[in-house]
Amino acid sequence: MKKGILMGLLMLLVLALAVGCGQPAEEPSDSNQKQPAEQTEQPKEENNEPVELVAEYVGSETCASCHADIAGSWAETLHTKMVQDANDETMIGDFDKEGNPLETTGLSKDDIKFTIGSKWKQRYVTEQDGDLKILPQQWIVKTEEWTDYHADEWEERVYEDKCIRCHTTGYNPETEEFVENGVGCEACHGPASLHVENPAKVKPVNVAELSAERQVDVCGSCHVRGKNADGKRDDALGFMPGDNLADHYDWLVPKGEDEKRFYENGDSKSHHQQFNDFIQSKHYEAGLSCITCHDPHSQGAAIGQLRDTPENLCFSCHSEGDLGKPFDLSKYMPKRAKSATPGDITTHTFRKP
Please report, as residue ranges, which positions from 232 to 291 form the binding site for ligand HEC (by CB under 6 A). Answer: 234-235, 271-272, 274-275, 278, 282-283, 286, 288, 290-291
C-alpha of 124 from chain center: 18
H or E stretch covering 161: helix 159-162
Q: Does 119 bind ligand HEC (CB under 6 A)?
A: yes
Cα(156)–Cα(150) distance, integer angstroms: 10
The DSSP secondary-structure symbol of 158 reads B
Among positions 51, 70, 102, 212, the unique one binding ligand HEC when judged by CB under 6 A = 70
Among positions 213, 294, 308, 341, the unique one binding ligand HEC when judged by CB under 6 A = 294
Confirm if 278 and 219 have CB atoms less than 8 A apart: no
Between 113 and 119, CB nearer to ligand HEC: 119
Q: Does 67 bind ligand HEC (CB under 6 A)?
A: yes
Q: Does 194 bind ligand HEC (CB under 6 A)?
A: no
Q: Does 345 bind ligand HEC (CB under 6 A)?
A: yes
Confirm if 83 and 168 have CB atoms less than 8 A apart: yes
The closest alpha carbon to 204, from 50, 44, 39, 347, belongs to 39
Among positions 54, 181, 189, 217, the unique one binding ligand HEC when judged by CB under 6 A = 189
Q: Does 118 bind ligand HEC (CB under 6 A)?
A: yes
DSSP letters, 208-222, are GGS-HHHHHHHHHTT
Shortest Cβ 37–ligand HEC spacing (Å): 12
Between 16 and 66, CB nearer to ligand HEC: 66
Count CB neighbours of 130 within 10 A: 8
Handedness of CA 218, 221, 222, 224 (dihedral sign): positive
Between 45 and 247, CB nearer to ligand HEC: 247
Among positions 120, 228, 229, 261, the unique one binding ligand HEC when judged by CB under 6 A = 120
Burial class (CB in 10 A: 0-12, 13-18, 19+), 87: exposed
Among positions 15, 38, 56, 79, the unique one binding ligand HEC when judged by CB under 6 A = 79
Between 102 and 281, CB nearer to ligand HEC: 281
Between 113 and 294, CB nearer to ligand HEC: 294
C-alpha of 42 from chain center: 31
Q: What angle do CA 56, 59, 65 make, to 5 degrees?
A: 115
Q: Does 163 bind ligand HEC (CB under 6 A)?
A: yes
Q: Does 208 bind ligand HEC (CB under 6 A)?
A: yes
Shortest Cβ 145–ligand HEC spacing (Å): 14
Stretch that binds ligand HEC, among 22-30, 104-112, 213-221, 257-265 (CB under 6 A): 213-221
Residues from 310 through 329 that contact ligand HEC (CB under 6 A): 310, 313-314, 316-318
Among positions 47, 108, 303, 326, the unique one binding ligand HEC when judged by CB under 6 A = 303
Count CB neighbours of 26 within 10 A: 12
Number of residues located near ligand HEC, criterion CB under 6 A: 88
DSSP letters, 171-198, are -BTTTTB-SEES--HHHHH---HHHHH-
Among positions 81, 113, 261, 338, the unique one binding ligand HEC when judged by CB under 6 A = 81
Cα(148)–Cα(135) distance, integer angstroms: 9
Burial class (CB in 10 A: 0-12, 13-18, 19+), 159: buried
Q: Does 71 bind ligand HEC (CB under 6 A)?
A: yes
Cα(88)–Cα(43) distance, integer angstroms: 50
Between 24 and 177, CB nearer to ligand HEC: 177
Q: Does 332 bind ligand HEC (CB under 6 A)?
A: yes
